[in-house]
Structure 1
Amino acid sequence: MAEAVLALISATALLLGSPGPAPLALAGTSAAFGVRRGLPFLFGILVGLSVAILGASLGLAALFQAYPPARQIVQGLGAAYIAYVAFKIATAPVVQGDDGRENAAPRFIDGFILNLLNPKAYAAFLALFSQFLLPLAEPGTAFLATAIVCLLVATVVDVAWLLLGGIIGPLLKRPRSARMLRVLFAVLMVAALLWAILQ
């Protein structure tokens, strides 16, 4: 059992910790607005991830296979929303509050929608549940235990990305460097999105 848990933790950390739209958005948000103002966005991402876990465990793959346009619609909505969050990070004021936009940081709802419509999250959980389901006698318990481990690992990974952005942000006090960092995170988010779509 310990080996199965370690395998699940490793696979989850690799799948969810790789630079995709949500991790890059977290780092970009905390770099632009600070860790504290990025916390609502983090919580939204984790709640959206919980919905993705539930969707994967309830057979969202079956829906996408039966109705291929549903997958394309979700991917299109997700792509548009991720591009919106990337734009929001790239165009954020260089000095917090320098244009009066106190609420410019992505909010809880932004994080929730981002992961709710993030095709990478569903693909990751479908892979995890099909390959790394914990070997427990009762299937319902196995899915629940696997989901809890995945969510705990995702929380650690996402907090690490948020803190990374918070560490990088203060290092760039000059407006030009700060703008370049935000634009870089936004471009990386869109590139990760395009890479995921083209796979």
Structure 2
Amino acid sequence: MNEALTRRQRAILEHLRESRERQAHPPTLDELCRELGLRSRGSLHKHIEALVKAGHVEPLSGKQRGVRLREPGQDELLSLPLLGRIAAGRPIEALENPQDLEVPRQLRGSGRCYVLQVRGDSMIDAGILDGDWVVVEQRDHARDGEIVVALIDGEEATLKRIEQTPSACILHPANPKLAPLRYAPGRVRIQGVVTGQMRAY
């Protein structure tokens, strides 16, 4: 399978295998950039996506800490409901004809899950692009730093990385062109946490 990979992708794959032997946690994208001497995080992300597509690496998600090698037996699929499309500052757009999507089992969380299609570029630096599908575990709480589906004032839904303080709920985009959104805690309701994502090529 390695013959289809570029020299750089083979080097990244070998580095991930060596990292698994010597440390408990998989390296993050930033750590890989430093360890491999790469300047561009975006370029590394493209190589990782190629390794995901080739079946060597788990799809990146907002839940996992780092870049994980794919383990044997992870190809089992399960069916999850595609509930609609989510774009910053709008209600979730329900589909006229609801459908199910086949999703790799390792992308789902431990609770009830569903799928949303992403609209917009507010989370591009987290690797979530316009048109991607995100797998969401339905729950009303999240840890700081997790990517959540947040409902603002009971009307507007958005996909952002969350930070919670006693006086504010801050929703951080992953796009340097966009500013964080700050709200009183009572204005924001968490509807789920992203556990994985998928992309069509």
Q: TM-score range by the shorter chain?
A: under 0.3
State the TM-score, normalizing by the size of structure 2: 0.22
Q: Which structure has the highest helix share of the two?
A: 1
